[in-house]
Structure 1
Amino acid sequence: MNLLKATGTIGGLTLVSRILGFAREMLMSRIMGASAAADAFFVAFRLPNTFRRLFGEGAFSAGFVPLYAQRLQGEDGEAEAKKFSEEVLAVFLPTLVLFTLVFQLIMPVFVAAISGYSGEKLELATYLTRITFPYLILISLVSLWAGVLNSLAKFTAAAFAPALLNVCMMLALILFPQGGPDTAFWLAVSVTIGGVIQLGLLIISAVRAGVSLRLRRPKITPGVKQFLVVVIPATLGAGVYQISAFIDTFFLARIGTGALSWFNYADRLNQLPLGVIGAALGTAILPAISRHVGANDPDKAAHVQAQALDLGMFLTLPAALALCVAAGPLAGALFQGGEFTARDADITATVLAIIVLGLPAYVLVKVLTPGFYSRQDTATPVKTAAVVLVVNVVLNFVVQAMSTDPLFRIAGLSAVIAITSWLNCAILYVILHRRGHFRVPGWLASRILRQLLAGAVMVAALYGLEMVFADWFTGSAGRRIVAVGALVGIGMGIYFPLCWTIGGVDRQAFKDLLRRKRPAANA
């Protein structure tokens, strides 16, 4: 597998989705502002997405992809892999439906416990969450079909599917722009409709790839047992991460009106490189590492992981540094306007500048965890996540108790997220290192140092530009967008050529890709 090409395919299509997501957030900030209705919708949107990460993307992929890939390598590979997928689907779907029905019944209590809302705001948040919650079933099934396609090295449909959700939500904002509870209702409806369309795309793509799954009667077969042995610890581990997300929501909702909105818009910018780079790398390398581990070739597995770390840092470091330096201009240009005031943009910028300090760690975790999942070790990330969760909770309680100032409290919460992300990354790496599964080779350490040097030069240039053209960043919306576009372009124009010049990038890999030649075996 060409890691650079696979990552480029996934990352490029994810970038399309993220750009549409930005367009959606720009519309939403101007129409909804940082209002109570906006906060209620963000609660309704975060809850099914949090459970999606629990049942769908992380835990499911960790258990399903390696086992599916192993069956493809067998004598009757395609038939065995298809049978395994149908057996898992037969158990997975009823579990999701039952889970969703239970939460529909307890929704008022659950939303109240998470958000701390009361009165009309609680009623609205509960109503919206009941509408969005079926998205959990749909997007979790998307994860199953995505796992099948990714194992076949067909990444396009799964990478593009999230764009369809953004299109649906943008249509809701365009068609119902009055703001308040009415717009929030149609946004919630668009989330579920988007899930239906995403699932349809993945099923059609799988059929075209020659995989048509039929529904079986639920039965705990040997394959399902093997899957559960792997996926239950992964689910517990993902559960720890999602408890952390619930904790963040818990604290944000209690900071005051607007906090969830400010954090959401800042995190949208933070999620751009994380989704484009981190998710793409994690998706691309898991099947490759699994095949090398299954073939008893740990050196090749470690080399794939080192390549992914190299590419991840090459792309993430400039993103993190630029987002931190240009947080103010970015938040103002993208979100300020309409119902979203200059104060809202300033607070969003503060949150962004802090939270992106953990961005390289977020991406590194995506690169390191496949080193465990490919060996069907999902227990170790669970233990690591539990330690990180405890630290997260303790630090959050300390920070929130230190002051009643909303700005201090949301900045402190952002700092805790960044700190605990680095802690998680460090623990995972130390464990892999001690087990002899992965160590940072000398060539990689040297290359990262050169990337940091190029990043430092870029930061100095961006600071200078912000000082010289300060009036452009506080002018009209058009001037702000032009100024930010120029800032991004100049930053890229400094970092990437400098990295190429001083050896901060694998030049040969890029040359091979550009020439459309088959890369060497060690690439």
Structure 2
Amino acid sequence: MPQPAASKDLSPEKSTSGLLRGSSVVSGATLLSRVMGLARDIVFARFAGAGAAADAFFVAFKIPNFFRRLFAEGAFAQAFVPVLAEYRQQGGIAAARALNDRVAGSLGGTLLLVTLFGVVCAPLVAGIFAFGWWWDGAEREKFALATDMLRITFPYLMLISLTGFAGAVLNSFDRFAVPALTPVLLNLVLIAAAVLATGWFEPPIMGLAWGVLVAGVVQLLFQVPFLIRAGLLPRPRWDWSHPGVRKILRLMGPAIFGVSVTQISLVLDTVLASFLPTGSISWLYFSDRLTELPLGVFGVAVATVILPSLSRQHMAGDPQRFRHTLDWALRCVTLISLPAAVALVVLAEPLLTTLFQYGRMTPWDMQMAAWSLRAYALGLLAFMLIKVLAPGYFARQDTYTPVRFGLIAISVKMVLSLAFVIPLNHYFRLGHMGLALATAAQAAVNAWLLYRGLRRDDVFRPEAGWIGFLVRLLLANLAMVALLALFLYLWPQWSEWTWWQRCWRMGVMVVAGGACYLATLWVCGMRARHFRPAS
């Protein structure tokens, strides 16, 4: 453990108004990234559709992304940031830099070995994630295509994990904008690959796989100048004996389940969906992408900003500010997630049609994707609450309690997925929608257990005013639903309109619905100052 030392590099504790500014920066950058992500998916829908080749690509793209979210964004980030804050607090900037060097070397070496394994054993890895294709002889061609693309996309895991490490270092020093903007480059490269590169490959979908690899290189290189400018560029050293590295490893094991339960459940969706009709994986992909828009813009942004502050507040022994930060974060994500979930349920099919029904995508694809989008939307609030509640544990370096909750939630998810997809599918035709419903239920269970645990340990107590706050939100959402239902009654034929006709109508509905929501909140007495917390 580093010895206490004074350092001019240590920044003062951030107030919650500072958190609001930080969250705004991350939200703005993430919003740009998510908008570009939607543009990317629109291009995917036009060039790839929802057929066998698209299903194979989405599996090959999802596998390295799963491991990236599990380790680089999930367990690693949640274990690394509190330990780095501890070293920075107690040993100064020199101790923090020494830890960065050793984590960079150990992480980079391990990722290289994992990448080599994934490339060499691509059929085995693809068989785990798309077992139904391997099992069904009629789907072997699709399985072979997914395996070939996985050999190209799997190195993305190493590149984007190192990018995630660089972003975690910058976030720990309250530099949030660059990591939040980095995913924009992924979307730009993939759009370019779909438009320009697919014509050079056979099958054309292979161009997207190569685009994923190039995007990983571009994102990693983008971070380097900012690390240099901040004096944070690590000099990698392979040192597993360093106390900080060992501590991060101890915290990472439980954190893999604690913060990445949702990702594990999505992989289970992929495995089960490989037994469902062709197109199911693509329908789930497009509906999940729309659910992740508000989750990424607001939920992840707030969680990213509060974790370093919660870690510092815990190290400083300030439980009151710790509770206040969590309460502020919970109010923010609730304010956003409820209307977002309601809007996704009400506007599911028109929204998907506006964004994706072009080229190879059919009205049937939009109807199927709309059902899974509605199911995912039912769990949006829970998804966001998990993002905010989990840092309440990780900031205190408690990764063992969330793992128990994660195991319970995963068990619920597995039981419900099997129940919805296998027995009931024959009678009620739930199919891919059943997978989305099970995911929403799993998120609700996990969020409730995390919340109850914080209350039980007296780490968090809701501050005054929650009942009135929720009543105002209920009234505002009811008013918004009434207005959106009126628009849908007046404009029922979305599939028959041109791109421009869909876009301006959807724009009117989104703006009018948002204005109605905010206006109702204002009439009910809610003001912006209620979300401008005191220092």
> Cα deviations across residues 294-317 of structure 1 (Å, max 9, x unaligned)?
111111001001001111111111
Aligned positions of 1:231-380 closer than 5 A = 231-237=252-258, 241-380=262-401
Q: 1:78 and 2:100 equivalent?
A: no
Q: 1:148 and 2:164 equivalent?
A: no
The corresponding residue for 2:473 is 451
The corresponding residue for 1:230 is 251
Farther-moved stretch of structure 1 (250-259 vs 225-234):
225-234
Q: 1:102 and 2:117 equivalent?
A: yes
Preserved contact between residue 68 and residue 160 of structure 2 (Cα < 8 Å) = yes
TM-score by length of 2: 0.92
Structure 1 pair 179–201 and aligned structure 2 pair: CA distance change class (3 A): closer
Structure 1 pair 242–324 and aligned structure 2 pair: CA distance change class (3 A): closer
Deviation at 1:383, TM superposition (A): 1.0
SS in 2 for 1:503: coil
Deviation at 1:219, TM superposition (A): 3.4
- How far apart, in 2, do the equivalents of 1:179 and 1:378 lie? 47
Structure 1 pair 177–479 and aligned structure 2 pair: CA distance change class (3 A): farther
- How far apart, in 1, do the equivalents of 2:237 and 2:146 lie? 37
Deviation at 1:227, TM superposition (A): 1.7
- How far apart, in 1, do the equivalents of 2:140 and 2:201 lie? 16
Structure 1 pair 461–482 and aligned structure 2 pair: CA distance change class (3 A): same
- How far apart, in 2, do the equivalents of 1:351 and 1:24 lie? 20
Preserved contact between residue 182 and residue 222 of structure 2 (Cα < 8 Å) = yes
Structure 1 pair 63–190 and aligned structure 2 pair: CA distance change class (3 A): same
Q: 1:66 and 2:92 equivalent?
A: no
Letter in 1 for 2:161: S
Compute the RMSD of aligned alpha carbons: 1.8
Farther-moved stretch of structure 1 (48-57 vs 401-410):
401-410
Identify the match of residue 28 of structure 1 among 34, 40, 44. Answer: 44
Aligned positions of 1:49-64 closer than 5 A = 49-64=65-80
Structure 1 pair 73–113 and aligned structure 2 pair: CA distance change class (3 A): closer
Structure 1 pair 417–505 and aligned structure 2 pair: CA distance change class (3 A): farther
Farther-moved stretch of structure 1 (472-481 vs 219-228):
472-481
Deviation at 1:355, TM superposition (A): 1.0
Deviation at 1:260, TM superposition (A): 0.8
The corresponding residue for 2:6 is none
SS in 2 for 1:262: helix
Q: Which runs of 5+ in 2 are unaligned?
A: 1-13, 134-138
TM-score by length of 1: 0.94
- How far apart, in 1, do the equivalents of 2:243 and 2:505 lie? 59
Preserved contact between residue 458 and residue 495 of structure 1 (Cα < 8 Å) = yes
Preserved contact between residue 368 and residue 429 of structure 1 (Cα < 8 Å) = yes
Structure 1 pair 475–58 and aligned structure 2 pair: CA distance change class (3 A): same
- How far apart, in 2, do the equivalents of 1:249 and 1:195 lie? 23
- How far apart, in 1, do the equivalents of 2:429 and 2:214 lie? 36
Structure 1 pair 293–445 and aligned structure 2 pair: CA distance change class (3 A): farther
The corresponding residue for 1:385 is 406
What percentage of residue pairs aligned between the two structures are identical?
A: 38
The corresponding residue for 2:144 is 123
- How far apart, in 1, do the equivalents of 2:190 and 2:144 lie? 22
SS in 1 for 2:235: coil
Letter in 2 for 1:140: S
Aligned positions of 1:178-193 closer than 5 A = 182-193=203-214
Farther-moved stretch of structure 1 (82-91 vs 156-165):
82-91
SS in 1 for 2:39: helix
- How far apart, in 2, do the equivalents of 1:154 and 1:405 lie? 53
Deviation at 1:419, TM superposition (A): 1.1
Structure 1 pair 451–238 and aligned structure 2 pair: CA distance change class (3 A): closer
Number of corresponding residues: 512
- How far apart, in 2, do the equivalents of 1:70 and 1:46 lie? 34
